Amino acid sequence: MPAVEGTISGSATDFRGQWTIHGSNYVFDGVTDQVLGKWESQATLEYINAVHLIGAFDLDDLDFPSHIGPRDFSLTFRDERGGIWSAG
């Protein structure tokens, strides 16, 4: 599975991840159900095909618990087609 380095940051309940794949910028905006302080981190995005990164995604907490901690984080998303994407 291809992977690319980028950044992810957030404050309150909002977060934004940004990655560049083959010269194109990909931005993921999201909302958590917990209020967090301001944070920022380097992030590795694992994906199957960059074409499938466009669309709506849900955090998949049932099958892959996500967390944002003081030293690490792991977010797993499920796309409209059932594909799994992860950042951490």
27-70 confidence digits (pLDDT tens): 988 887 778 788 888 888 888 888 777 776 666 566 666 666 66
Local structure of 57: helix, strand or coil:
strand
How far is residue 76's CA from residue 86's CA, in Å, rounded to a whole number? 4
Q: Are 16 and 8 in contact (CB under 8 A)?
A: yes
Percent of the chain at pLDDT exceeding 90: 12
Average pLDDT, the chain: 78
55 φψ region: left (φ > 0), alpha (ψ -120 to 50), beta (else)? left
Q: Which residue has the higher pLDDT, 56 or 4?
A: 4
Structure tokens at 22: 């083959």
* Domain map (residue ranges) of the chain: 3-87
Q: Are 88 and 72 in contact (CB under 8 A)?
A: yes
Q: What is the pLDDT, as a whole number, of residue 18?
A: 93
Percent of the chain at pLDDT exceeding 70: 65
